[in-house]
Amino acid sequence: MAIAFIRKACIILTAAVLFGANTVEARAQESIPDGVDNSKLVYFPPLISQIGGSCAQASYIGYMFTYEMNRLLNRNASESKDNQFSYLYTWNFINGGIDEGSLGTEGLQIAFEGGIATEADFPSQYSSYQFKWTSGYESYLKAIHYRVTKIRTFEVTDRAGIDEVRHYLWNRGELGKPGGIVTFSSRSSGWTINTHYTGPSVTGYMALLTKLAPDGAHAMTIVGYDDLVEFTAPDGTLTKGAFIVCNTWGDDYYMHDRGRFYLPYYFWEQSDRSANELSHDMVGTDVEYREPKVVFRVKLDYTSRNDLSFRIGVSNKASDQLPVHDYLVPIANYQGGDYPMQGNNASSEIEFAFDFSSYVDHIHDSEEPKFFLTVSRNKRGRQLGSGKMLAFSVYDYREDPSSPKIYVCEDIAGKEIRSGDNIFSIETVAAKTTSYSKVNWLNSSGQPAAAPFVLRTADGKYVKIRFSDYNRQEGTIKMKYVYAPDGSLKFE
């Protein structure tokens, strides 16, 4: 059980504004089948038995994101933990270090800006991972590849909305392609489910929800539909059709059939009567596999992760003291509670990878870019932590992904993280210094000045030089010079 129901609806509307997601772009013209069950496709992962109040992340990331990424890459989700995505990875950045619910779109936002770790790198089914953050450049770098590109929202209050979701589940508006899956929220404490449904169906499940729950809040996943399922409404009317809901309570929950149940279309068509028990907004997502271009590698040691926030930036010149372009990192942003960086009873030392790839155009604008990391420290929570920086470097994969250019911040190890903004920088081109003093070697009569000049040679030694007998017509001049053998200025 996870989220405050009203907050959930609000965040979905916000996501539509952020990503411009609305409906399926095109509907296929073929006849839509009577039933579709995308949870039977190889792209769908094994059933999840959620930890704590993580249902939103289990549904949005563990099920939907995993399914859509494997659908995109044509991979079998059950073949490898590398083909499944960690819902605890996102939940632990959102839950404040305690067992509380979250908003599913918060996880998708993390995936949009920074990617999602795999179950191989951050397994969700170990309780020791419940409030922990992952550490290690390679784990975060791998996560950066797997991204959300769009959040889709569907408003389902009538048959038209139901049909739009049915088409999306069937083929996402792409002829001959497998369909998508969507998420929604509902109350779940006190619902009534008939576990011996034997009526008509295409997909063959025996669990049918017959009454919505009056309490609780829960996020779940719709994996398909069945137009033949029959449900008798409270007024005795026989209705047809139901969505197939896949829950995150494992495969042996007694009120489900293999972790699934039918939820009749009827309840969405009664929008005026079910608004408090059932969300009328459903969410889908588009994903992509993206190669990173420029990545910040950051290592630090700090005792209260709630205090810290990170920004990554770039400027145009090696001599700049502040970034011209500066961006907030979507994770570790004053969050996680008053715990060490990796979590309660875990290490205070952590290593991140922050993706700068979306902003590489600003690097192209300069011949000598300078990278900036800003670590902001402000007390959030009961205590002010303490700690130090350990390392900061930038990996540029643009020319050769297998052998990136690496720029290292010198003398950062052991630097105290102080209150306010701590700014660290890396020059990709050494700053140039120039000294200039205007000298007239010809006097007013056009002859060399009598005074000698002292010059520094390329190897750092000093020479005293004097000119005489300048002949403009012949282009000749006499030059006398002396120097000290040790290169010093101690000569006459």
- Per-residue pLDDT tens digits for 11-20: 333 333 343 4
Mean per-residue pLDDT, 336-348: 92
pTM over 0.85, yes/no: no
- Asked whether the predicted pLDDT for residue 352 surpasses 80, the reply is yes
Which of the pair, 305 or 482, is modelled with greater confidence? 305
pLDDT at 436: 45
How is residue 486 written in tokens?
Answer: 């040790």
pLDDT bin (cut points 50, 70, 90) of residue 359 is confident
Q: For 44, left (φ over 0), alpha (ψ -120 to 50), or beta?
A: beta
Q: What span, in angstroms and rounded, lies between the C-alpha atoms of 405 and 356?
A: 14
- pLDDT band at residue 207 under the 50/70/90 scheme: very high
- By DSSP bridging, strand 453-456 and strand 405-408 are unpaired
Q: What is the CA radius of gyration of the chain?
A: 32
pLDDT tens, position by position, 370-390: 999 999 999 988 889 999 999
Work out the pLDDT band at 482, boundaries 50, 70, 90: low
* Residues 36, 38: Cα–Cα separation, whole Å: 6
421 pLDDT exceeds 90? yes
pLDDT confidence bin for 21, thresholds 50/70/90: very low
Please name the helix (run of DSSP H) or strand (run of DSSP E) that holds residue 280, with its range, or none: none
Q: Is the pLDDT of residue 203 over 90?
A: yes
What share of the chain has pLDDT > 70, as a percent?
Answer: 81
Res. 368 pLDDT band, cuts 50 70 90: confident
The class that CATH gives domain 5-288 is alpha beta
When pLDDT is cut at 50, 70 and 90, the band that residue 3 belongs to is very low
Which one, of 60, 49, 51, 56, lies nearest residue 2 by Cα? Answer: 56
Residue 468 pLDDT exceeds 80: no
Name the CATH topology of 294-427.
Answer: Lipoxygenase-1 (2.60.60)
Same fold? 5-288, 294-427? no
Q: What is the mean pLDDT of residues 391-406?
A: 95
Neighbours of 172 (CB within 10 A): 22
Rounded to 5 degrees, what are φ and ψ at 29? -95, -5
Domain ranges for the chain: 5-288, 294-427, 436-492
Residues sharing a CB contact under 8 Å with residue 488, sequence separation 6 or more, in sequence order: 462
Q: Is the pLDDT of residue 31 over 50?
A: yes
Q: How much is the average pLDDT of 337-357?
A: 94
d(CA 203, CA 225): 8
Strands 453-456 and 462-471: antiparallel
Query: Using one digit for the tens of pLDDT, what is the confidence trace for 243-261?
Result: 999 999 999 898 999 999 9
Can you give the pLDDT at residue 35? 97
User: What backbone phi and psi angles, to 5 degrees, belong to 35?
Assistant: -155, 150
β-partners of residue 242 are 226, 264
- Region 294-311 average pLDDT: 97
**Average predicted confidence (pLDDT) for the chain:** 86
The total of other beta-carbon atoms located within 10 Å of residue 198's CB is 8
| Model pLDDT, residue 466 | 72
| pLDDT attached to residue 24 | 45
Summarised one tens digit per residue, pLDDT across range 208-236 is 999 999 998 899 999 999 999 999 999 99
Q: Kindly tell me if the per-residue pLDDT of 83 is higher than 90.
A: yes
